[in-house]
Structure 1
Amino acid sequence: MNPPKLTPLQALPRAKHYCSYQERSHSDVKDKLYGFGLNKAEVEQNHQHIDRRELPE
């Protein structure tokens, strides 16, 4: 069974938590956001809101 799709607002804190306990690349975070059921526009929007300190350059 597929997990329920999250809204962008629900996915953002989960993505931040995902970044907080281990260093993640930009692609890792985007893959996680897609896994939450977000579409491309939602992934890009959320990805921009994640603090740069949480992602390596």
Structure 2
Amino acid sequence: MAEKKRNLITIMPAFLLMGTAIGIQVGAILKYAAVGFVVGVLIYLFLSYRNKIINK
């Protein structure tokens, strides 16, 4: 499980880049990049919490 914890942090930049790509297409880059980052942080926290429960 240690490998998953190290790779888990890469979720945030991935969602940030996805939000930026959508923002470029729509025309509101900063808005969608911020939303992507927030979603990435929320998913990171959820998966970290889930991994702690599974490891018990």
Q: Same fold (TM over 0.5)?
A: no
Q: Which has the larger radius of gyration?
A: 2
Q: Greater share of helix residues, 1 or 2?
A: 2
Instruction: Name the TM-score, length of structure 2 as normaliser.
Output: 0.32
